[in-house]
Amino acid sequence: MVATKKPMVVIIGAGLAGLTAAHKLHTSTPSFDIRILEAGSRIGGRIRTATFSGDRVETGATWIHGIEGSPIHDLARSIGALDSDGRPFECMDPVPDEPITVIPGNGAIIEPRIVNPVTSLYKDMIAFGADGGEGSVLGDTALKRCMEDRLSVGRFLRSAFEVYQEENPSEEKRIEEAVFEIHENMERAHTAADDLGDLNFHTEREYKEFPGEQITIPRGYSSVIEWLASALPLGAIQLNRQVVKIEWQSSGASDLSSSSPPVRIHTKDGALFHADHVIVTVSLGVLKAGIDSGGLFSPAVPQFKAGAIRSLGFGVVDKLFLQLGETYTDGFPSLEFAFDRWRKTELPLWLQQMSTLSPVYRGSRVLLGWFAGKEALALESLSEGEVLDGVETLMSRVPTLPQQPEFTSAMWTKWGTDPLFMGSYSYVSVGSSGEDFDRMAEPLPSVGENDEVGAAPPPLQVMFAGEATHRSHYSTTHGAYFSGIREAERLMKHYRI
């Protein structure tokens, strides 16, 4: 196929997937006109580096998940983003302090003899669920019993814990359960599943991590975004252009003239863009809302696509940053909170599943707590005063600290209620499968689609990229990167470039 004019490619979203696709197309060939329509006032999507109390922190994507073979690691290294500029940054310590596990209320420190076996059990079961390896805490008979109840990750883990407690009777069963719940809540933040009972056990095994250590980026994740954007032509990225409708041709018939590009993109401010191809990189949360309202795509996407969008999970994970007051002079430890569910507490519900609170690096006066699901959404609705009061109340229930801390300011993310994202990242829910990620990635019109008289519609009109379109690297920045490269190469192959 030889094009007589440059095909117009409109990319919706200036996050990592969209910028990667644009960068690949622009730097590989001069054969395309490219526009990126970004709904917000900044680029980066779910990547955003910020400064809080003098420390560089990540309010979105934080980690490079494995450095061996990771394209994000290779890119960050090649542009010097892994070289320190002298400023402290989140998780800069290669070996963080071991956490102290406490029971809010009486402030008791839970002894390692209780914490360590439960922690080992949990890690073994997570590893077994991921790759089918051997469990070192439970025997073969117990593992077989757990495998009989494995529809969800949550049920599998709970089965293992129940077997463990049966085989290891203890007078501290309640405390063991509180420790186990710490790890469950960490897993909720890791996977974005509000309830681990909705996390598909079988398909989780398809998720892949790169080998090697997991690191953060000294110059900030946003440095990767800025580098990708810097190569694009001036004016290619248009901010504050929220797309409200994508009109495409699902058959050969059309009310557009034959010389018109087949896709029309309408934005909230009334602008209209014509394109030969559009690459949609908005979050799965935005896609869910778009197909449920019926207004984002015209005509509506086919059932295979709508089913995948509805079936896959998309959860909320938020970070809370707190600044320690100057009166706190001791180094703040890393804390794990084991909430005793049988003990009455006056703590607000949003705090009762915060598993950890720790400095963003050793010696920092900025503390970080993670929230997922319902607790994250509850946090998003609060004022700064309510957040500070809640955390200080929690700290008053931990009298084992050398002194009572006070906090002067707080900053937290609001991914769940931000209409441009409506959540944090995707997961495989019970009822969905890895095939749904493949369906997410399939362009429209789907392969082989014809109209009533057999005329084929223009190909590759609506394409999809983003972390929720990658079967084995969903929920990650490298998954988003891979998807952007995939769609750029799909277009280049189509035009034989």
Q: Provide the pLDDT confidence category of residue 293 given band limits of 50, 70 and 90.
A: confident
Name the E strands within 316-453: 317-324, 335-337, 356-359, 366-372, 407-412, 425-427
Rounded to 5°, the CA angle 254-487-4 comes to 55
Radius of gyration, CA atoms only, the chain: 24
Q: Provide the pLDDT confidence category of residue 180 given band limits of 50, 70 and 90.
A: very high
pLDDT of residue 4: 62
Q: Closest Cα partner for 359 from 332, 396, 393, 319? A: 332
> 144-162 burial, b if ≥16 CB within 10 A, otherwise e?
ebbeeeeebbbbbbbbbbe
Query: In whole angstroms, how far apart are CA 497 and each of 3, 55, 238, 311, 490?
Result: 11, 45, 27, 36, 10
Q: Is 32's pLDDT higher than 60?
A: yes
Lowest pLDDT segment from 90-104, 126-140, 330-344: 126-140
Write the pLDDT tens digit of every residue in 423-433: 999 999 999 99
pLDDT of residue 410: 98
What's the rounded mean pLDDT across residues 402-411? 93
What is the amino acid identity at position 93? D
Q: Provide the pLDDT confidence category of residue 341 given band limits of 50, 70 and 90.
A: confident
What's the rounded mean pLDDT across residues 275-290? 98
- What is the Cα–Cα distance from 232 to 34, expressed in whole angstroms? 9
Q: Is 434's pLDDT higher than 80?
A: yes
Q: Is 217's pLDDT higher than 90?
A: yes
pLDDT of residue 188: 97
pLDDT of residue 347: 86
> Which residues have CB under 8 Å from 259's CB, separation 6+?
none
> Which residues have CB under 8 Å from 285's CB, separation 6+?
314, 421, 422, 423
Q: Provide the pLDDT confidence category of residue 273 given band limits of 50, 70 and 90.
A: very high
Write the pLDDT tens digit of every residue in 465-491: 999 999 999 999 999 999 999 999 999
Lowest pLDDT segment from 41-50, 159-168, 369-378: 159-168
Q: Is 259's pLDDT higher than 90?
A: no
Q: Name the one residue in this structure whose structure tokens are 């720790």.
A: 358
Q: Provide the pLDDT confidence category of residue 296 given band limits of 50, 70 and 90.
A: very high
Q: Is 210's pLDDT higher than 80?
A: yes
Q: Is 255's pLDDT higher than 70?
A: no
